[in-house]
């Protein structure tokens, strides 16, 4: 399963490819270049510090940085213009604010989607189908869109349908989010396919539970029930299994209970584990799958800052100095003016500035 947030970022990057903009949307390319030039000038000449809010430059490695850059200029356009005029700078001359606002409106839903999909400690897989349907609707051109935005939407929609694959698990996870259990964003045949697949998965869960798998009683820290003699012949009970599975699925579809807060979705399924026993196990299996790798990448990046060569590959003498300073830091801080004659302290003194972060509790 691909990282959905990475795919969205790739779609937006391809939609704004410089080669395509040069051929098809030269005015839009010119406007984006002007905004980049304004941000660069403000940062280089020090005027950015005089603004109430900072300006942000577009970075190819930062998601949604194009949107952030444009908004950072448009939201304080008048103040930027007055400061540029005071220096006789004409960078904002002939800037098409209406076109740039259209680009902002075009990019906002993609930013919202990527931020929702990359969250930590939340079930994010149900959002993939939701935002896929929302983005498809958003990328349908309207009468109020400018010709440039219409072309941009058409190109982005092609990439969205080509690159962002909504698979079986995405649809099932949305089905397991109670407010959207009826999957109204899908057509009738797709809904039937999802229901059929859920029935198959529930049958598999039923077989595993009947063969001695974990049960809801075990979740309450009670001993597992003994295996009955009839379980040796559970293959003869297919009709009963299918009936049980269908009744649980139908009960869930008729149920009025709903958990609108996706942050508590797994908890709400835990509260329903006796009412919808097999669906609970299915939800626990499916909803724990993240829609993106952004969370693990963030953790890896933080770990990388700790376990890097500058921090871990110390020379023996430097490690000895660190241990000495760490042990005597309070004394060292109080007595530094009086102890400059101490050879050990003098030897460590130049080392403090580079390594002081280690002593922060």
For residue 137, tell me if it sits in a domain. no
Answer whether residue 308 shows pLDDT above 90: no
Same domain, 150 and 222: no
**Domain hosting residue 185, numbered range:** 177-286
Answer whether residue 161 shows pLDDT above 90: yes
Q: Yes or no: say if 140 and 157 are a contact pair by the CB < 8 Å rule.
A: yes
What pLDDT is attached to residue 335? 54
Compute the average pLDDT of residues 48-68. Answer: 87
Q: Which range scores top for mean pLDDT: 91-95, 322-326, 348-352?
A: 91-95
Same domain, 225 and 266: yes
Same domain, 117 and 68: yes
What pLDDT is attached to residue 133? 94
What pLDDT is attached to residue 249? 86
Answer whether residue 276 shows pLDDT above 60: yes
For residue 91, tell me if it sits in a domain. yes
For residue 207, tell me if it sits in a domain. yes
Per-residue pLDDT band for 232 (boundaries 50, 70, 90) equals low
Same domain, 22 and 82: yes
Specify the range with the lowest mean pLDDT, choosing from 42-46, 129-133, 340-344: 340-344
What pLDDT is attached to residue 225? 56
Q: Locate 345 and state its tokens.
A: 């302290």
Answer whether residue 110 shows pLDDT above 70: yes
Same domain, 209 and 338: no
What pLDDT is attached to residue 338? 44
**Rounded-to-integer distance, Cα 9 and Cα 174, Å:** 22
Contacts of 30 (CB under 8 A, 6+ apart): none
Output 302 or 98, whichever has higher pLDDT: 98
Same domain, 352 and 258: no
Same domain, 97 and 193: no
What pLDDT is attached to residue 265? 85
For residue 126, tell me if it sits in a domain. no
Output 331 or 23, whichever has higher pLDDT: 23
Same domain, 276 and 334: no
Q: Yes or no: say if 359 and 326 are a contact pair by the CB < 8 Å rule.
A: yes
For residue 335, tell me if it sits in a domain. yes
Q: Yes or no: say if 41 and 89 are a contact pair by the CB < 8 Å rule.
A: yes
Residues in the chain, total:
361
Same domain, 44 and 90: yes
Long-range CB contacts (within 8 A, 24+) of 264-269: 265/123, 265/126, 265/177, 266/123, 268/178, 269/176
For residue 134, tell me if it sits in a domain. no
Among 61, 43, 183, smallest CA distance to 126 is for 183
Same domain, 207 and 238: yes
Same domain, 45 and 85: yes
Total domain count, the chain? 3
For residue 110, tell me if it sits in a domain. yes
CA distances from 20 to 26, 68, 151, 152, 304 (A): 9, 22, 11, 10, 37
Same domain, 194 and 279: yes
Work out the percent of the chain whose per-residue pLDDT is above 70. 75
Output 260 or 63, whichever has higher pLDDT: 63
pLDDT in tens, 3-27: 888 999 999 999 999 999 999 999 9
For residue 136, tell me if it sits in a domain. no
């Amino acid at each position: 399963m691909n990282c959905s947030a990475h795919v969205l970022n790739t779609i937006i990057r391809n939609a704004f490819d410089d080669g395509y903009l040069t051929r098809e949307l030269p005015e839009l390319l010119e406007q984006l270049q002007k905004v980049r030039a304004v941000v660069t000038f403000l940062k280089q000449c020090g005027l950015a510090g005089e603004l109430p809010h900072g300006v942000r430059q577009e970075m190819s490695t930062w998601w949604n940085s194009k949107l952030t850059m444009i908004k950072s200029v448009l939201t304080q356009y008048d103040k930027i213009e007055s400061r540029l005029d005071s220096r006789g700078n004409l960078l904002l001359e002939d800037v098409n604010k209406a076109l740039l606002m259209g680009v902002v409106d075009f990019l906002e839903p993609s930013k919202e989607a990527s931020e929702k999909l990359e969250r930590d400690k939340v079930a994010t897989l149900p959002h993939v189908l939701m935002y896929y349907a929302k983005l498809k609707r958003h990328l349908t051109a309207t009468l109020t869109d400018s010709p440039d935005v219409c072309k941009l939407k058409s190109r982005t929609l092609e990439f969205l349908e080509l690159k962002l694959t909504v698979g079986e698990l995405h649809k099932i996870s949305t089905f397991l989010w109670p407010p959207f259990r009826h999957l109204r964003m899908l057509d009738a045949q797709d809904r039937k396919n999802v229901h059929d697949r859920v029935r198959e998965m529930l049958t598999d869960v039923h077989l595993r539970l009947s063969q001695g798998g974990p049960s809801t009683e075990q979740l309450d820290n009670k001993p597992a029930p003994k295996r009955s003699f009839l379980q040796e012949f559970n293959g003869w009970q297919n009709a009963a299994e299918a009936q049980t599975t269908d009744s649980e699925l139908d009960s869930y579809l008729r149920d009025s209970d709903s958990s609108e807060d996706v942050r508590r979705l797994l908890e709400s399924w835990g509260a329903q584990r006796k009412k919808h026993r097999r669906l609970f196990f299915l939800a626990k299996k499916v909803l724990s799958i993240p829609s993106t790798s952004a969370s693990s990448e963030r953790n890896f990046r933080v770990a990388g800052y700790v376990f890097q060569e500058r921090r871990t590959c110390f020379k023996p003498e430097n490690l000895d100095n660190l241990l000495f300073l760490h042990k005597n830091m309070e004394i060292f801080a109080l007595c530094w003016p009086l102890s400059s004659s101490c050879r050990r302290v003098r030897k460590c003194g130049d080392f403090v500035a580079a390594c002081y972060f280690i002593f922060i509790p």
